Chain A
Amino acid sequence: DGGITQSPKYLFRKEGQNVTLSCEQNLNHDAMYWYRQDPGQGLRLIYYSQIVNDFQKGDIAEGYSVSREKKESFPLTVTSAQKNPTAFYLCASSIDGGPGNQPQHFGDGTRLSIL
């Protein structure tokens, strides 16, 4: 079955520590996205990538970094510069790089908490 796999499901971070969230898709989609979801708020875009080896900052990119070395993979690193990292992180993909026009497929999310 095709889909998006995020891991881990739960992650705890200590102060000053960088952590990396994994996102893998086997849908052969060109575009991939990372969102952050906080209680009572919608999804906010962190980074997106329309094609391999290229990515763009979203609305809240500060304190985060990404890479897109393979079509299937779009890992997100939450750095120590992100002062409020506790949130639910969702990865998504869509067929092509026109994010304004294509439905997105989502993974099951990673819940990150700070110790």
Chain B
Amino acid sequence: EDKVVQSPLSLVVHEGDTVTLNCSYEVTNFRSLLWYKQEKKAPTFLFMLTSSGIEKKSGRLSSILDKKELFSILNITATQTGDSAIYLCAVGGLDRNTGGFKTIFGAGTRLFVKA
């Protein structure tokens, strides 16, 4: 069965700390791995990763994919209270029922940054 597993489920840190969020997956015919940030309502897109070993970076956030070991990490350096959110990992793969493609989401990591 296809699955995406995120860890930890929740995390509490202080401002200025560095955090690493993990995402492992088992998905048929992997196409891409995406990270989203969900604050109160709509998830917003952060990164899309398709190739191993190539780091994607945006400000204090960065992410990398290991297709051999089937995982990705999302790093946040110098955390701020505005980083408090649920971080969702999603993997695109083959939909065995339709032959098309689908996206499978992990349960998310809830990050809380204390001032």
Q: How many residues of B contact A (CB 8 A)?
A: 30
B32 touches A101 (CB 8 A): yes
What number of A-B contacts does a CB cutoff of 8 Å give? Answer: 67
Q: Across the interface, name the chain B residue whose C-beta is closest to A107.
A: B42
- Hey, what's the 0/1 contact readout for B72-115 against A, CB within 8 Å counting as 1? 00000000000000001010111101101111111110000000
Cα of A107 to Cα of B6 in the assembled complex, Å: 23
Interface residues of A in 11-55 (CB under 8 A from B): 33, 35, 40-45, 48, 50
Cα of A33 to Cα of B101 in the assembled complex, Å: 12
Q: Nearest 9 CB-CB pairs, A to B?
A: A100-B92, A100-B101, A42-B105, A100-B31, A106-B42, A108-B41, A43-B105, A103-B45, A42-B107
A-side residues, CB < 8 A to B, are: 4, 33, 35, 40-45, 48, 50, 56-58, 90, 97-101, 103-109
B-side residues, CB < 8 A to A, are: 4, 6, 9, 31-32, 34, 41-45, 48, 50, 88, 90, 92-95, 97-98, 100-108
